[in-house]
Structure 1
Amino acid sequence: MRHYDLVVLGTGSGNMLLNEEFAHLRTAIVEPGRFGGTCLNRGCIPSKMFVVTADAVEGARAAARLGVKATVEPIAWKAVRDRVFHRIDPLHDSALNYRRENGVDVYTEEGRFVAPRVLQIGTERITADTFVVAVGSRPVVPDIPGLDTVPYHTSDTVMRIDDVPASMVVIGGGFIAAEFSHVFGAFGTHVTIVQRGPRLLMAEDEQVSARFTELASQRHRVLLDAAVTSVERDGDGVAVTVSCPDGDRVVRAATLLVCVGRQPNSDRLGAAAGGLELDEHGHIVTDSAYRTSVPGVWALGDVANHFQLKHMANAESRLVRHNVLHPEDVRTLANKVAPHAVFTSPQIASVGLTEQEARRRGIEYLVSVRDYAQTAYGWALEDTTSFVKVLANPLDRTILGAHIIGPQAATLIQPLIQAMTLGLTADRIAEDVLYIHPALTEAVEQALLAL
């Protein structure tokens, strides 16, 4: 068996781990798919390139409220799609060649553990002193009668279709469903969203979730408290039977998109044979330093945590790099704050406790909500639906959570993330910081001053 000092499984954030500090080691990478992982090839990067285009379309159509008469020609979907993937697709070969040219062995078949720190790759077995497992996750395909008999898409495939469908049923009401509903709705598809819960984006703060559901229902057909009970072919499209509070109905569409969550790829890893402990959701169990149950094996990213956030996986990769290189000085992730954004319309960003979480856990809090419309830039936008919401501890005045729905939400929340990370009080960042007038950041400032 060929032996290595270090083997990395997965080339999303796992590929970021290797730098010049590992040049003296014998290293290998195992990647049966494309370098870059989910984020680069079929996740956050291409989807946001589509979102930016959808935002431009939606902005043109909404310009009338500003006194601008604008029309949108039919969207050149193939030109948009090709612009995205002609930029992304060449990166695989360049990354693979870069690793090989710099002395890293690259295996392009799937690897499975057959014993602790023994990996089977095709007909070959390799061993290593250290393994880093970063094999990511994939879309969940639910057990719906008839689903296996009809053509359907997940986030892995829907961005590469040849034409914009006239109609689409989206199963699911989370982040991915919200973003693709925005994209295809802007491009002219009639979208029906089927959501099990009473609101869309149920993981968000209730107030944000309710506002988004209200606005999405103005753009799309939204079926709440609903469940898909079966799917069948309908000519070239699909017929989806949906159980709703008022009875069953059949929704017909040209395309079906399944967005009901993601699952870790640990089941493709031979985790049990490799001695890796899994939790009830299939994630590899690690300690706070990202060590697994097997000495010398580390895990990070979607396969090891529930965040499913690229920025978290990147931070974990930097941490694991240090820990592998400096086992005498093992570190843990200092920042426990995990912000996220949903790049839909309107944009949403969140960090820390939601109000319902605070209530459920019996945590005392103060809350302040400030509408964009209460700021000068909000006036310029003619915005009547967006807001900033901040929760703070009434005793030590630190920020417990922040939630924003509206234009530039993912950018506006950053000073609140920094304040939470650094332990700054709401009073201090409200009163000791100058906020540019008349920028949208004044909505953040005013929410903090109200606290």
Structure 2
Amino acid sequence: MRHHDLVVIGAGSGNAVVDESLADLDVAVVEERWFGGTCLNAGCIPSKMLAHTAHVARSVREAGAFDVDAALKAVRWRDARDRVFGRLDAERDRGRRGRMEDDSVSVYEGSAWFTGPRTLRIERADGALDVSAGQIVVAAGGRPLVPEPVVDANLPYETSDTVMRIDSPPQRLAILGGGYIAAELAEVFAAAGSSVTIVEKEDHLLGPQDETVAERFTSLVRSRYDLRLGQEVSTVGGRPGALRLTLDDGSTVEADMLLVAVGRVPNSDRLNLEAAGIATHGDGRVIVDEHQRTTADGVFALGDICSAVPLKHVANREAKVVAHNLRHPDDLIAADHGLVPAAVFTRPQIASVGATEQDCRDKGLDYLVGKAGYGDVAYGWAMEDTTGFCKVLAEAGTGRLLGAHLMGPQASILIQPLILAATLGIDAATLATSPYWIHPALTEVVENALLDLGL
């Protein structure tokens, strides 16, 4: 049995664990599918590159609002796809090649599962290999969840893993799910010419968002998509290229293509974790402590396989924590997940950090709400924006920021001062009145929301 000092399962964010600080160790990386992980190959990066293309197309369509005569001839889907993945596939291949040429790292391309404490079997194209390790990092990520009615139908469907690489956009696209993946990909394919129907079991899209964001976003996109809210798919029928979805209220949706975007599940069920003594939560996530240690001695985990917040920037932070703790067992550091920001790259953009108003209400907190609209500031006038807004939640009395939520252009950038303030303990009144806020920049909408708290 081959022995390594360290084995990392997964070459997404797990790959970031292996840096120069481990150069004196015998290290191996196991990757079953994609060097660079979901983010590079089928997640946040390609979806945002295509979303930006969609935003450019929509800007052309809406140019008349600015007295500009312009007409959109077409979104050249295949050219856009090849531009995006031509770049990203090259990045993936460079990363893979770089690892394989690294004399200090052994690369195993194949699937791995535990056969015992810190022992693995790796199934490769040229046969199985058994290895052991002094320490192991589990960073095997997750995959799209596919509901039983879709599986049982035995008809073609796409997920976020596959849909961005298709040759041409469908004329009619049905999307199952109303979360951020569904919302972003609906934007992409609508811009490319698809007629989009979204089937979502909740009464609003983007349900985990603050209630004001979810309500207003849902209202905005009703004119763009056929929304079937509060409904689920009972059966999928028809034939390839001519699908018929029957919903639980008896209504039907006709589509040329089905995109399943109802969520993701961790890949823990593929690793035989019980053999290693690694415990999981009920939803399959690997249990870790604040130092990213699993319940098995010498085994760490990071990223989507264990995190309650499956975002790339969270996985990257956890990778830094694991890299430190591997080398410094007597000086462990922790990953703080208390204030994790997130953004949805639809049009309009959405960004959030901290508590939602429903969170504050459910916890019985004494809180204040401050709001400001993009249309209330000068640059909002320039943008002819009538729907964008900033909403901040603060603790009554102290002004401590509890949460912040934006919907509108540049939301993912505008939220950053609120993230910093919440993280560093700067109260709302200090943030609103101490620094200069550039006039007439769009950041004034954040300033005005803070002032609206009345502190």
Q: TM-score, normalised by structure 2?
A: 0.97
- Counterparts of 1:336-375 in structure 2 under 5 Å? 336-375=338-377
Aligned to 2:443: 441
Cα drift, residue 397 of structure 1: 1.3
**Aligned equivalents of 2:452, 2:163: Cα separation in 1:** 44
Q: Please identify, of 85-94 and 142-151, the stretch whose mean Cα deviation from structure 2 is larger.
A: 142-151
Aligned to 1:209: 214
**Aligned equivalents of 2:150, 2:32: Cα separation in 1:** 31
Q: How many residue pairs were aligned?
A: 448
Aligned to 1:2: 2
| Distance 1:145-1:397 versus aligned 2 partners, 3 A rule | closer
Cα drift, residue 145 of structure 1: 5.8
Aligned to 1:376: 378
**Aligned equivalents of 1:219, 1:333: Cα separation in 2:** 40
| Distance 1:145-1:28 versus aligned 2 partners, 3 A rule | closer
Aligned to 1:229: 234
| Distance 1:118-1:215 versus aligned 2 partners, 3 A rule | same
Aligned to 2:162: 157
Secondary structure, counterpart of 1:64 in structure 2: helix
CA offsets per residue over residues 135-176 of structure 1, 9 Å max, x none? 100000111167542111000000011111111110110010
Cα drift, residue 97 of structure 1: 2.0
CA offsets per residue over residues 288-324 of structure 1, 9 Å max, x none? 0000001110001000112110001101101111111
Choose which of 132, 154, 159 in structure 2 pairs with 1:127: 132
Aligned to 2:188: 183
Task: Give the partner amino acid of 2:156.
Answer: P
Kept in 1, the 8 Å contact 2:40–2:92? The answer is: no
Kept in 1, the 8 Å contact 2:153–2:237? The answer is: no
Cα drift, residue 34 of structure 1: 1.4
Aligned to 2:452: 450
**Aligned equivalents of 1:89, 1:146: Cα separation in 2:** 29
Cα drift, residue 101 of structure 1: 1.9
Aligned to 1:114: 115
**Aligned equivalents of 1:390, 1:160: Cα separation in 2:** 38
Task: Give the partner amino acid of 2:60.
Answer: A
Aligned to 1:17: 17
Aligned to 2:141: 136
Task: Give the partner amino acid of 1:115.
Answer: G
| Distance 1:335-1:113 versus aligned 2 partners, 3 A rule | closer
Kept in 2, the 8 Å contact 1:146–1:231? The answer is: no
Q: Please identify, of 92-101 and 105-114, the stretch whose mean Cα deviation from structure 2 is larger.
A: 92-101
Cα drift, residue 32 of structure 1: 1.0
- Counterparts of 1:51-450 in structure 2 under 5 Å? 51-103=51-103, 104-122=105-123, 123-144=128-149, 147-234=152-239, 236-244=241-249, 248-334=250-336, 336-450=338-452
Aligned to 1:27: 27
Task: Give the partner amino acid of 1:377.
Answer: Y
Kept in 1, the 8 Å contact 2:241–2:255? The answer is: no
Q: Please identify, of 214-223 and 333-342, the stretch whose mean Cα deviation from structure 2 is larger.
A: 333-342
**Aligned equivalents of 2:150, 2:430: Cα separation in 1:** 56
Kept in 1, the 8 Å contact 2:155–2:240? The answer is: no
Cα drift, residue 39 of structure 1: 0.2
Secondary structure, counterpart of 1:110 in structure 2: strand
Aligned to 1:38: 38
Q: Which runs of 5+ in 2 are unaligned?
A: none
Task: Give the partner amino acid of 2:333.
Answer: R
Secondary structure, counterpart of 1:369 in structure 2: strand
* Divergent runs of 4+, >6 A: none
Q: TM-score, normalised by structure 1?
A: 0.98
Cα drift, residue 334 of structure 1: 4.2
Cα drift, residue 389 of structure 1: 0.2
Q: Please identify, of 92-101 and 379-388, the stretch whose mean Cα deviation from structure 2 is larger.
A: 92-101
**Aligned equivalents of 2:189, 2:82: Cα separation in 1:** 16
Secondary structure, counterpart of 2:149 in structure 1: coil
Cα drift, residue 367 of structure 1: 0.4
Cα drift, residue 335 of structure 1: 5.7
